Amino acid sequence: MPLIGPLGISSEWQPSLKKRLLHFFLILVGIFIAAIIALYFLATPPKDFPSGKLLEIPEGTSVIKTGKMLEEMHIVRSAVLFQTLVIIFSGDKGVRSGYYIFDSPQSVVTIADKLSFGRYGISRVKVTIPEGFNSMEIADIFSKALPRLDKATFQELAKQNEGYLFPETYYFFETATPGEIIETLRNEFATRLEPHLEDIAKSGHTEREILTMASIIEKESNGRNDREMISGILWNRIEKGMRLEVDATYLYTLEDRDNNKLTTKGIKSDPSPYNTYKNDGLPPGPIGNPGLGSIKAALNPTKSANLFYIHGRDGTAYYAKTYSQHLANIRAHLK
């Protein structure tokens, strides 16, 4: 009769049980090690990770679609692991839309964290638009501040929105598109102009006419404190049927905006509708993007009988009611 061991198990079965338990334990260890290795492999970046490549996550993109896209782009090895991590990190909030840049290969854990909380890896750039700058000048500013920007496309869009790009200091991602920038500038314009819409409606002029006059005032006053007086003089000239004869409108159409190269012959022969020496009334649209001060001046001109003005060599403004007085001011303060 076989002997019974301390556990009540036949002694001849004890070695077999120990072997089975050891075998089972080794299997568990093997599975654990394999899982760790697999998890490590899946968590590490792919060898062909696209460092420095711009990644766009469109608005409303699901976690599942994002995971598949990242796997296809070789940003993560496992779409499923990425999706699982995003759910752990952000629950039902999913991924944040926008543009991302990963300067170096990063683990799926890091990628999931960044997309869950909008850690874009892209710095914002400060861009300041001075009052009165036109679309070409604004395009130059943005192309220098944002090297990735498509300048030609931006300039075309900006030209179409001349006068409506509010001069201010903005902060944009390096990856901002021309459309996004124009929309931001136009939205700021709408916000700033909204309190003055009633005054525009009462002015007897259209919004575009007010903006066109404001853009001229911005250039002609050059930021001086005579905006309202210049506004009054220019509106006086229009009301009396006189041509504005403003250099700034003519220069707007020239590639080389150099006052020193402006000739009387060139002005008289230029057919441009922006040539206020040759055409009556306001030009067809703004010649720049005025600030709020010039918009207010266009709406609130100083009432006077003056029809002419100059700025002397020291920057002082001199006004005149008649052409002879104007010529006298030129001789006294500009020659």
Global confidence as pTM: 0.69
Question: Which of these ranges, 31-45, 61-75, 237-251, has the smallest mean pLDDT?
Answer: 31-45
Summarised one tens digit per residue, pLDDT across range 7-62 is 454 555 556 766 776 666 666 766 666 556 656 666 688 888 998 788 889 989 99
**Two tokens at 174?**
């390096």
Quick check: 335 pLDDT over 90?
Answer: no
Summarised one tens digit per residue, pLDDT across range 132-167 is 999 999 999 999 999 889 999 999 999 999 999 999
Check residues 4 and 182 and name the one with the higher pLDDT.
182
3-state SS, residue 319: strand
Rounded distance between C-alpha atoms, residue 131 and residue 227, angstroms: 13
Question: Which of these ranges, 30-39, 249-258, 272-281, has the smallest mean pLDDT?
Answer: 30-39
Band (pLDDT 50/70/90 cuts) for residue 263 is low
